[in-house]
Structure 1
Amino acid sequence: MERRELLKMIAVLTGGAMIGGHAILTGCNVKSGKNQDHLFTDQEIEFLNEVSETILPETNTPGAKAANVGGFMAVMVNDCYEFRDQKAFKEGIKALDTACEKMHKTSFMKASTAQRLALLMSLDKEAKLYQSKKGDMEEAERKKDKDFPGLPNHYFLMMKQLTMLGYFTSEVGCTQALRYLAVPGKYEGSVPYKKGDKAWA
């Protein structure tokens, strides 16, 4: 699967353009001016692995944690996101944990699988609502200040998109979740498809 096609699929599945998509396609050379190395701690990467595992859990194939998607997120946010999105993403880790405490009276790391799933479904709705209003909010701000740089994207949308990108471009995702052919053979224009077949890597 080509990277461009994967980004399009993620945009469709998450209801919004792939954040940082241009940077990802052009080699992740974002000049934010405030890009920091080592933006995430080991504990934050472990937290992101648990979030990603809730989004793409282990079934008959390994889940997102097996592909260390949390580590992938940290690299992508640091290298491919504008500063305002980096900041929103980093602050989103605390916001997600606070939301879990508010909803379930426990931290995300101590929450059950069902509690985690309920929380992330709620955050998904919140993110979609925020993203749908973001353009109007930015336009209103630019009427006051023509140099207004724009609002950050919702942290959960970024987490969800990076989970899918990280997993389906990992070795685990490509070889176990998708159908994988290490060395392509001859071209076949019409391949039989049975309902439930995996997509090609």
Structure 2
Amino acid sequence: MNRREALKAVSVIMGGTVIGANTFLSGCSVEKDERVNALFMESDVALLDEIGETIIPTTDTPGAKAAGIGSFMAMMVLDCYEPKHQTIVTQGLTSFKESFNKQYGHDFAEAKPEERIAFLNDLDKAQVEVALQGKGNPEADPHYFRIIKELTLLGYFSSEIGCTQARRYVETPGRYDPCIDYKAGDGAWAV
């Protein structure tokens, strides 16, 4: 073996060691849950996406997750809600994770559709009861699921996907026609 071949062999061995070590060590690293904004972590946004997708699932049109509903909700809660309601949502998400995990033994993201729907139906019943108890009292706090549900609908139907694919949309509508025929099953018009 000459010197040139020896250097190639050593560089291959050393390079393999360095690359192998990096690959090995990266397998041991723990993924960081980065902050999206002052209130929400990436895992919270992912959970909001999954909740939204359960409320408005993908069918022949894309669902809430495709519309980026989790990011929309995180932005809206931070920018548009008063601190009291921000706390209701963030504490509600924590309660949601704990309750679901306690009831089913795994995270919401790993759940079967039937488990997701059953859990959200129970939450919906709870939020209706809270709303009925606070009826007539403008100071009554809403249930966190009511806020999430309302933001899901608002975000989806005001998104590009919601306006152009879930509802009928004409970019330039032209003249006003108050008597347009409606057929059963036609989508609502986007604004």
TM-score bracket relative to the smaller structure: 0.7 to 0.9
Q: Give per-residue Cα distances to partners, 1:122-163, cap 9 Å, x unaligned.
A: 000001001111257x69xxxxxxxxxx44311000000000
% identical equivalent positions? 43
Counterparts of 2:86 and 2:140, CA distance in 1: 12
2:153 matches 1:172: no
Partner residue in 1 for 2:188: 199
Counterparts of 1:44 and 1:76, CA distance in 2: 14
Partner residue in 2 for 1:190: 179
Q: Letter of the aligned partner of 1:169 in structure 2?
A: S
2:34 matches 1:45: no
Counterparts of 1:94 and 1:67, CA distance in 2: 24
Q: Tell me the secondary structure at the aligned position of residue 64 of structure 1.
A: coil
Q: Letter of the aligned partner of 1:128 in structure 2?
A: V
Partner residue in 2 for 1:108: 108
Q: Give per-residue Cα distances to partners, 1:72-118, cap 9 Å, x unaligned.
A: 10111111111111001011111112221233222212211110110
2:126 matches 1:155: no
Structure 1 unaligned residues grouped into runs of 5+:
1-36, 140-149
Q: Letter of the aligned partner of 1:182 in structure 2?
A: E
Counterparts of 2:135 and 2:61, CA distance in 1: 38
Partner residue in 2 for 1:78: 78
Partner residue in 2 for 1:128: 128
Partner residue in 2 for 1:117: 117
Structure 2 unaligned residues grouped into runs of 5+:
1-36
Counterparts of 2:140 and 2:91, CA distance in 1: 14
Q: Tell me the secondary structure at the aligned position of residue 89 of structure 1.
A: helix
Counterparts of 2:135 and 2:83, CA distance in 1: 19
Counterparts of 1:152 and 1:87, CA distance in 2: 11
Q: Letter of the aligned partner of 1:158 in structure 2?
A: I
Counterparts of 2:38 and 2:187, CA distance in 1: 36
- TM-score normalised by length of structure 2: 0.76
Determine which structure has more spread, i.e. the larger CA radius of gyration: 2
